[in-house]
A and B are shown apart, each in its own frame.
Chain A
Amino acid sequence: MENIQKLTHAYEQAPWRKQMYMIGVILLILVSAAIVAGIYLNVTARAAAIGRQIQEMQVRVYGYHYLTNDASDVIVPIEELEQRIANLTSQLAILTSYQTMQDRVKDLNLQPIDADHIEYMKVPGYYDRQTTSLAPPPEPVVVNASAIDPQFKESLFEWVVEQAQKTARFISEARP
């Protein structure tokens, strides 16, 4: 028994070594946790900041403008641009409205023509006036092509499998 005790004691770690080991392990855990927490905090903080920016842009899109000191004109959201385009389209329509054109006719001292003053002639290949077509050409078929390279989406398992397949191909090709 005494011999066993002696043997055990002979191979036992020194207490200070044990303590250092424990401290090291705890510190490793703490540092690892701190690193993970730091990365998490960094990512979430950036996500929150981006989210807040998006929200601010959304508020600007459907939000309110101050009468003074409003810098929202610097970046105009699409919706407001569309509103302005619609407004300008209407303004253009006013400028070419029937009444405005009649006023211009009067200003230019033009007279509406009577039926008996019109001379008709046959023009080969002439096509009668066609009614309006407002629709743009049909949209091209959209292929579902992702902008992200497949390398960035593959899992570790898929990568290992692919590497294994590559290696197998290489070996089979190298074989005489």
Chain B
Amino acid sequence: MRRYMADHAIPAGRLRRKPPANEFPDMPHSASEKAGQSLTGWRFNLLAILFLLAGAMIIIQLVRLQFSPERSEFVSLGDQYSRTLHIFYPPRGDIYDRWGRLLAGSTLVYEVGTQVDNVENPDTIAFALSKVLSGHPEYDYAGYSNDIFSVIHRAEISGTAYVQLADFVTPEELSQLQDWAQNYANLPNVDYGESGRPSLDGLVYRPRLQRYYPENELAANVMGFVNREGKGMFGVEAEFNDLLAGAPQSVWMSLDPYQVSEIPQLKAGADLVLTIDREIQAAAEDVLNKALDDSGADGGVISVMDPNTGEMLAIASTPRLNPNEFWNYANVFKDSTPFNRAVSQDYEPGSVFKVLTMAAALDDGAVTPDTEFVDTGSIQIGGITIHNWDWGAWGPQNMQGCLAHSLNVCLTWVATELGAGQFYKYMQNFGFGRTTGIDLAGEAPGRLKLPGDTDWFEAELGTNSFGQGIAVTPIQMVMAISSVANGKGEMMMPHVMRSMVRDGFQYTPTPQVIGKPISEETAHTLTELLARSLEGESSDALIDGYRVAGKTGTAEIATPTGYSTSETNASFVGWGPVNDPRFLVYVWLEKPQSSPWGSIVAAPVFRDMVERLVVLMDIPPDDVSQSLGDE
């Protein structure tokens, strides 16, 4: 029974166990069983040793690589392909006029390049691009096709993944390229010989934004432009470049899908609302163009300011560049012509400066409107003799007469009555000799020679009093005269940025008062004097229904051999309505040909401008304002 069980019921495992000595008798295993057990053990052992060795070798290799000299090379190679640098450029902020009309925005353009591995036929790509982009100024040259071909060829050799072939491609040009690509793709599969099957495969594009000026040349001198590198040049674009451009962000983006990094939330550039009124700007440019045609002047400026706030409503200057075609800059601005004469070109203003000499003298009390001066036609100062514009003697004159007839002799006498110390103190208070701080790039400081300067002589006091021997910019004149024009004696800082829109909020800075060089009473008195002067002279600057104050100016132009009598700077500054000043207009024509006199060429320009201005600004005639006010 036991034998039976041992043979048939006991599991095989039990057979290998040695039975207890007394209970079970020794039962010797067969020879084949022993041989089988030893063979199995040997194989298992061998397998285990092999696995052990393989594992050990892997571990040894891992350790060796970790400490091998090639490790750093492998790591850097891995890093090179593990991430890519992306530079994210936020969209540039828009620029609007004061009523929200877009002056500078953005438009779609495309960067075109090749993914070199996918290029099938570089010849076709070179041919297509050279034909489609032939109207593109940057790619319109004979060797462009060869250049493209060689660029692709070099990229293929060097193993470069992507090469850029063209930028700033317009949507129309891209559409043509897409048509070409489609046509090539539809070609039949036949043998095309050595040239291979024509194909634009591998040609890729990427959309991006480019600055665009929908008004083209309108207000171009104020706006400036953005160059190919995205940098603002001149005007508002340069002055507020950092604000408009926003902050580009460079991000290393991992290619490891476990380490996907978030695309940064870009802070878009701020939008700007300018003080410029598009309609007034257009009118100013229109009037200026007409004035240049009529007078044959080399160039000119018309500036329109709200004297109560310093807001520039229009700044027209010549020449003008279409900022959408800024590459024509060198053709438009020749011989160091400034981009915006109103802020960047200083000149001797001439008799318009008498407004400020008289303002200083009246404010100081050196003269009163009724002070009499007997004009003998000349006056000696600092060793030179000063004459009137007509070389005539005008006899007894009060201050209104001096201004009305623009008498150099009288104003020289007024300056001497005031004294050099006071005169230059007032001129400095009016802001001459330094920049106004207008928010336009490239402002020139002008030059005000002061007593004590090596190149200042006593005669300067006389010449400066009627605007010769002093260099000012039109915007300096506008700022200085704003203190008279607003009737408060407060000199307003000229500015073109009305408000800034950023992070969902619109910030509107308050108008800045630069100083109060004269009293309110002086401002009123002088305005009245100048208004009567214009009326007394029946000036061409007078406008029906509106009472304005102003002053003409004719300045001889300094040359290396002395002052030229044939070439002048003709100007006019005026403001109105006298009872409630709303505008200050400054006109400057450089070297007019039809007449050298400001009263003849510049005063009518002021009138033309104001006639359009009162309509655009909804300013009723004085009698209407009076009657409406009385109701």
Contact residues of A with B, CB < 8 Å? 6, 9, 14-16, 19, 44, 47-52, 54-55, 58, 61-69, 80, 82-84, 86-87, 89-94, 96-99, 112-116, 118, 120-122, 128-129, 131-136, 138-139
Question: Whole-angstrom distance from the CB of B565 to the nearest CB of chain A?
Answer: 38
What's the interface size class on B, roughly?
A: 35 or more
Which of B250-258, B349-357, B360-368 is the interface stretch? B250-258
Bound: A129/B616 CA distance, A = 12
Bound: A63/B628 CA distance, A = 64
Q: Which residue from B88, B162, B215, B504 sits with its C-beta under 8 Å from A135?
A: B504
Q: Which residue from B102, B206, B214, B501 sits with its C-beta under 8 Å from A64?
A: B206
Q: Which residue from B102, B200, B218, B271 sits with its C-beta under 8 Å from A90?
A: B102
Closest residue on chain A to residue B544 by CB atoms:
A116
Known A19-B13, A58-B253, A131-B98; judge A64-B205 contact (CB<8 A): yes
Known A9-B20, A93-B105; judge A67-B257 contact (CB<8 A): no
Give the total number of A-B pairs whose CB atoms are below 8 A apart.
167
Q: Assuming A50-B257, A55-B255, A136-B504, what are 10 further A-B pairs, CB within 8 angstroms?
A: A9-B20, A51-B257, A67-B178, A83-B208, A86-B91, A90-B102, A90-B106, A131-B499, A132-B98, A135-B501
A90 near B611: Cβ-Cβ < 8 Å: no
Contact residues of B with A, CB < 8 Å? 11, 13-14, 16-17, 20, 86, 88, 91, 94, 96, 98-102, 105-108, 113, 115, 162, 177-178, 181-182, 185, 200-201, 203-209, 212, 214-216, 218, 253, 255-260, 263, 271, 273, 278-279, 282, 498-499, 501, 504-506, 543-546, 611, 614-615, 618, 620-621, 624, 628, 631
Bound: A61/B624 CA distance, A = 61
A90 near B13: Cβ-Cβ < 8 Å: no
What are 30 A-B contacts defined by CB distance under 8 Å? A9-B20, A16-B14, A48-B257, A49-B257, A58-B260, A62-B206, A63-B206, A64-B113, A64-B115, A65-B206, A67-B178, A67-B205, A83-B207, A83-B208, A86-B108, A87-B106, A87-B107, A90-B212, A93-B102, A93-B214, A93-B215, A113-B615, A114-B615, A120-B628, A128-B618, A131-B99, A131-B498, A135-B504, A138-B504, A138-B505
Most chain B beta-carbon contacts within 10 A, residue among A66, A83, A96, A98: A98
A62 near B181: Cβ-Cβ < 8 Å: no
Interface of B (DSSP majority class): mixed
Chain B residues lying within 8 Å of A58, measured Cβ to Cβ, are: 253, 260, 263
Most chain A beta-carbon contacts within 10 A, residue among B11, B207, B618: B207
Known A68-B178, A122-B628, A134-B273; judge A52-B13 contact (CB<8 A): no
Closest residue on chain A to residue B199 by CB atoms:
A68
Bound: A138/B507 CA distance, A = 12
Bound: A9/B384 CA distance, A = 140
Chain B residues lying within 8 Å of A121, measured Cβ to Cβ, are: 628
Q: Which residue from B91, B100, B178, B257 sits with its C-beta under 8 Å from A55?
A: B257
Question: Whole-angstrom distance from the CB of A98 to the nearest CB of chain B?
Answer: 5
Known A93-B105, A99-B216, A120-B620; judge A15-B99 contact (CB<8 A): no
B105 near A132: Cβ-Cβ < 8 Å: no
Bound: A15/B16 CA distance, A = 9
Bound: A86/B208 CA distance, A = 11
Q: Which residue from B14, B115, B263, B621 sits with its C-beta under 8 Å from A61?
A: B263
Chain A residues lying within 8 Å of B101, measured Cβ to Cβ, are: 93, 96
Chain B residues lying within 8 Å of A116, measured Cβ to Cβ, are: 544-545, 621
B17 near A15: Cβ-Cβ < 8 Å: yes
A14 near B177: Cβ-Cβ < 8 Å: no
Bound: A115/B543 CA distance, A = 10
Q: Which residue from A66, A93, A96, A115 sits with its C-beta under 8 Å from B611?
A: A115
Bound: A98/B281 CA distance, A = 10
Bound: A14/B17 CA distance, A = 10
Q: Which residue from B13, B16, B182, B618 sits with its C-beta under 8 Å from A68?
A: B182
Question: Whole-angstrom distance from the CB of A119 to the nearest CB of chain B?
Answer: 9
Bound: A2/B204 CA distance, A = 92
Interface of A (DSSP majority class): helix
Bound: A6/B23 CA distance, A = 10
Bound: A83/B545 CA distance, A = 50
Q: Which residue from B108, B256, B615 sits with its C-beta under 8 Å from A83?
A: B108
Chain A residues lying within 8 Å of B96, measured Cβ to Cβ, are: 132, 134
Question: Whole-angstrom distance from the CB of B435 to the nearest CB of chain A?
Answer: 26
A47 near B258: Cβ-Cβ < 8 Å: yes
Bound: A90/B105 CA distance, A = 6
A-B CB proximity, top 4 nearest: A51-B257, A132-B100, A135-B506, A93-B214
Known A16-B14, A83-B108, A83-B208; judge A62-B279 contact (CB<8 A): no
B204 near A67: Cβ-Cβ < 8 Å: yes
Chain B residues lying within 8 Å of A114, measured Cβ to Cβ, are: 611, 615
Bound: A12/B425 CA distance, A = 118
Question: Whole-angstrom distance from the CB of B22 to the nearest CB of chain A?
Answer: 9
Closest residue on chain A to residue B214 by CB atoms:
A93
B207 near A80: Cβ-Cβ < 8 Å: yes
Question: Whole-angstrom distance from the CB of B567 to the nearest CB of chain A?
Answer: 34
Chain B residues lying within 8 Å of A52, measured Cβ to Cβ, are: 257
Chain A residues lying within 8 Å of B216, measured Cβ to Cβ, are: 97, 99
A82 near B91: Cβ-Cβ < 8 Å: yes
Known A48-B258, A134-B273; judge A94-B614 contact (CB<8 A): no
Chain A residues lying within 8 Å of B546, measured Cβ to Cβ, are: 115
Known A67-B200, A138-B505; judge A83-B209 contact (CB<8 A): yes
B218 near A98: Cβ-Cβ < 8 Å: yes
Closest residue on chain A to residue B285 by CB atoms:
A98
Question: Whole-angstrom distance from the CB of B162 to the nearest CB of chain A?
Answer: 8
Bound: A3/B499 CA distance, A = 106
A87 near B108: Cβ-Cβ < 8 Å: yes
Closest residue on chain B to residue A65 by CB atoms:
B205
Bound: A66/B11 CA distance, A = 73
Known A19-B13, A98-B278, A116-B545; judge A47-B105 contact (CB<8 A): no
B504 near A139: Cβ-Cβ < 8 Å: yes
Question: Whole-angstrom distance from the CB of A29 to the nearest CB of chain B?
Answer: 18
Known A48-B257, A98-B279; judge A134-B100 contact (CB<8 A): yes
Chain A residues lying within 8 Å of B278, measured Cβ to Cβ, are: 98
Chain A residues lying within 8 Å of B182, measured Cβ to Cβ, are: 67-68
Closest residue on chain A to residue B620 by CB atoms:
A120
Bound: A64/B163 CA distance, A = 12
Q: Which residue from B99, B106, B620 sits with its C-beta under 8 Å from A86?
A: B106
Question: Whole-angstrom distance from the CB of B349 to the nearest CB of chain A?
Answer: 29
